[in-house]
């Protein structure tokens, strides 16, 4: 049995939690450079950290029942309740079966029509910024993906509610991440108003969602949206339906886990394409088959655009990490994991692992041509996770990102603002430090 090497940054290891909180990606990269693909660190408690695909395969697929969701799941529970992201065991399996029909191919094609209408309207709104000062593209991507998420979930929603939800989701994410990475600030948060603001934001969001559920039940209407599907879902064995609390948890999970990941992925992608005119030209050459926004069948005829999206998710995976906790002893690649050990699976580093990818820091859509995909090991690329808990909205997200990217690139050129520095700031998703500013041409 091999000992798991321990990574300490400097002689005073008690400072490592603060160094990690300040720049998690840099801290982890130093750990991998020093120790190899697997190491352990102490950040107020001990974690085993890995970018080894064998760890992902063992934990997410082969022995998934012997690992429960980690600390990040507990962190999200106050907001997401007992939805698919946070639940475990038999309850999770039941909910997964109830929600799965929402993402069948036929249902996605129906939702695609709404995506297309909203994207066409968004393109017209973006015209106002053509030739003007640089804009925060992350805020714009959040706007369109939240519109799509809210429309496909709830149908109609006021502009005021949309703006409020967008603000609250961003603020809530910062609040939750601070509690995990900087637990020493928790007493201060209780007295400086952050706890109160979090509870107020959550109360508003809950009231809004429960009101949507109530009005839908009273209306007798059955529109084609995800809320209606949640209301109509029945357990095949018992015939039971979800109660309002369960519907609330799944609806908020769909919204929170869905729109921000797509928006973040698109923001990084547009920033990267600002440096890649040849790749932009190839996307445009595929876009000649549609006028404004592609239809579903047209999108299926644009394989290179999909390769670009997949390469963006490799270099800039929105879901940049996963955590699990062992519930029995394990041996993985000669390393011993004990019952109770927490494992930090770095998707970001898996996708940039020089042992797995040729020239891993170069943006290259040819990593996803059919031959490359055929020859690549399955667990080298996991932007949506793997195993039974693979992201249920994977196809929805890919479809949405391809649609928006193809439509934007056909109509606009995006140029990087050289005066605005861009860095990575991983929260729950892989955000930028202070926004991504681009010129619209």
What value does the mean pLDDT take over residues 44-62? 93
Going by C-alpha positions, the residue among 416, 432, 401, 407 that lies closest to residue 127 is: 407
Instruction: For domain 13-440, give its CATH number from 3.50.50.60, 1.10.630.10, 3.30.1340.10, 3.90.950.10.
Output: 1.10.630.10
In DSSP notation, 221-253 reads ---SSHHHHHHH-B-TTT--B--HHHHHHHHHH
CA 28, 31, 37, 42 dihedral sign is: negative
Q: Are 441 and 130 within 8 A, CB to CB? A: yes
**Per-residue pLDDT band at 98 (split at 50, 70, 90):** confident
Mean pLDDT of the chain: 89
What value does the mean pLDDT take over residues 357-367? 97
Give me the pLDDT at residue 15, please. Answer: 73
Give me the pLDDT at residue 188, please. Answer: 84
DSSP 130: B
What value, to the nearest 5°, has the Cα angle with vertex 142 and ends 137 and 147? Answer: 130
Q: What is the CA radius of gyration of the chain?
A: 22
Please compute, for residue 405, the number of CA atoms within 13 A of its CA located in the half-sphere on the CB side.
36
Give me the pLDDT at residue 123, please. Answer: 97
Pairwise CA distance, residues 61 & 363, whole Å:
29
The yes-or-no verdict on residue 205 having pLDDT over 70 is: yes
Q: How do residues 212-232 score in pLDDT, each as one tens digit?
A: 888 888 888 888 788 888 888
User: Judging by DSSP bridges, how do beta strands 414-416 and 437-440 pair with one another?
Assistant: antiparallel
Return the domain boundaries, the chain. Answer: 13-440
Q: How do residues 144-158 score in pLDDT, each as one tens digit?
A: 998 898 888 877 666
In the numeric block, the tokens 């496909």 are attached to 152
What value does the mean pLDDT take over residues 39-65? 92
Give me the pLDDT at residue 314, please. Answer: 98
**Per-residue pLDDT band at 12 (split at 50, 70, 90):** low
Give me the pLDDT at residue 359, please. Answer: 95
Give me the pLDDT at residue 39, please. Answer: 96
Whole-Å CA distances, 255 to 143, 197, 333: 13, 21, 37
Residue with more model confidence, 17 or 432:
432
Give me the pLDDT at residue 380, please. Answer: 98
Give me the pLDDT at residue 432, please. Answer: 92
DSSP 10: S
In the numeric block, the tokens 């445009």 are attached to 284
Q: What is the pTM of this model?
A: 0.91
């Amino acid at each position: 049995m091999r000992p798991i090497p321990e990574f300490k940054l400097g002689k005073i290891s008690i400072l490592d939690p603060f160094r990690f909180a300040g720049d998690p990606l840099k801290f982890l990269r130093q750990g991998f450079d020093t120790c190899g693909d697997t190491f352990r660190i102490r950040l107020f408690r001990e974690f085993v950290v890995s970018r080894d695909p064998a760890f992902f395969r063992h934990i997410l697929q082969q022995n998934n029942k012997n690992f429960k969701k980690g600390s990040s799941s507990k962190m999200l529970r106050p907001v997401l309740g007992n939805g698919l992201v946070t639940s475990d065991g038999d309850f999770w399996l039941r909910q997964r079966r109830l929600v799965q029909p929402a993402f069948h191919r036929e249902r996605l094609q129906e939702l695609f029509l709404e995506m297309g209408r909203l994207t066409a309207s968004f393109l017209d709104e973006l015209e106002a910024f053509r030739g003007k000062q640089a804009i925060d593209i992350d805020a714009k991507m959040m706007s369109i993906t939240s519109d799509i998420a809210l429309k496909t979930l709830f149908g109609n929603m006021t502009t005021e509610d949309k703006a409020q939800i967008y603000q609250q989701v961003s603020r809530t994410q910062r609040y939750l991440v601070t509690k995990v990475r900087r637990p020493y600030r928790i007493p201060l948060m209780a007295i400086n108003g952050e706890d109160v603001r979090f509870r107020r934001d959550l109360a508003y969001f809950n009231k809004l969602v429960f009101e949507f559920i109530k009005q839908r039940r009273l209306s007798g209407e059955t529109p084609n949206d995800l809320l209606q599907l949640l209301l109509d879902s029945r357990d095949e064995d018992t015939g039971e339906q979800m109660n309002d609390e369960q519907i609330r948890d799944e609806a908020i999970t769909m919204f929170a886990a869905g729109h921000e990941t797509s928006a973040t992925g698109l923001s990084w992608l547009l920033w990267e394409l600002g440096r890649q005119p040849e790749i932009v030209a190839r996307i445009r050459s595929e876009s000649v088959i549609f006028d404004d926004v592609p239809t579903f069948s047209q999108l299926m005829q644009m394989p290179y655009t999909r390769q670009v999206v997949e390469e963006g998710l490799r270099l800039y995976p929105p879901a940049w990490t996963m955590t699990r906790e062992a519930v029995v002893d394990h041996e993985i690649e000669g390393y011993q994991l004990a019952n109770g050990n927490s494992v930090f699976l770095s998707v970001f580093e898996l996708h940039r692992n020089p042992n797995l990818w040729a020239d891993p820091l170069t943006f290259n859509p040819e990593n996803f041509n059919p031959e490359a995909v055929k020859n690549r090991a399955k667990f080298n690329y996991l932007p949506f996770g793997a195993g039974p808990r693979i992201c249920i909205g994977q196809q929805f997200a890919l479809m949405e990102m391809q649609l928006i990217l193809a439509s934007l690139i056909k109509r606009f050129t995006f140029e990087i603002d050289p005066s605005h520095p861009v860095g990575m700031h991983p929260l729950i998703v892989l955000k930028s430090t202070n926004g991504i500013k681009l010129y619209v041409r």
